[in-house]
Structure 1
Amino acid sequence: MQNNQPITYRMRLFCTLLLILLPFSKSLAQNTFSLNTTTGLNFNFNTASSLENDNVKQNAFIVTVRPKSSNISVYARIYYYSAPYGFVPGSMNLELDYKSVNSTTGVSNLVTSPFILSTSDQRLFSISRRTTTFNFYYDLICTAPGYSTATGHYNFTLMFTMTSP
């Protein structure tokens, strides 16, 4: 497609969040977990540049964890998606990209490079029992869909879970 031709592709991607909180408590202590969004999570693809380049929502998620009673792990995945007829999974991907955390003491298995979200749980990190509250910051990336991706509305529901062994 030449740059002087009008862009006829218009796609919107709406991400919704489904947050499942699975705290496991012991006598007086409880793990805490919360997820906040710091920006709108809609992607609009209505220019040549947006179709040809990855689209990034910087600091899209803040995952806050306080593992008071036991060791925990936090996972993310695509829980559900809907797309127009003709959509081929993998032709447009959502990625999480770790940016920072306020403390790394007790943190293990931290995935620091961008990874493609799938319908399977993917561990973001593990933390051993601590009294510290951890804030993990993540960018949300929608990879460049290109010109052959079906036009229409794409909806993805992301699920973040906290588990304890």
Structure 2
Amino acid sequence: MDNQILAILIVVVQIYCIAFFTNILASRIFSLQFLLVFGLFLATIGTILFVTIGYFALVFILLSLVVALKVKGKSFFIALITPLTTILLLVIISYCIDVFTVSFLHMDTALSENGIAFNMIYFVALIFLAYSASVILEHLFRTKIYKRINRANGIMLIVALLVIVVTMYVFIYIESLYDFPIAII
């Protein structure tokens, strides 16, 4: 029972992270009140979808963020790129933390293997690193070089990010289907 509550808490924290870090990458277009209410909406529906359909709940979260960014006046390119970049960023940072924990600390990152304290430390590290990376990326998004790339190769960038994110989540989904050991994942 504790693992189920912890798993739901982790899903909710990750959904809020996606919403907040997407906002940072989109030049903080949403107010804090909007983010809290919208995050609650995403967390509620996203958690229900995650329990029922697994990782495919991410599609709902991404589409909701794209619509919200588009309604706030962002271009379709920015509305699509920022949530995808946030997801990619969170996955990469999560994998880096996992590699560090497994390689250097010789600990398994599975929920059942570690206590609540370890998982909270894990997510504080994830949030801190993802926040730092989001702020750095947001700064890079404002540069002239990025804006030139944005105009010239926007479609290719969207396609590349979609392929990367879909491939990563398909691998995660396949790994969970076949119950690979957590160290291999």
TM tier relative to shorter chain? under 0.3
Larger Rg: 1
Structure with greater strand percent: 1
Q: TM-score, with normalisation over the residues of structure 1?
A: 0.28
Specify which structure has the bigger relative contact order, considering alpha-carbon pairs within 8 angstroms and separated by 6 or more residues.
1
Structure with greater helix percent: 2
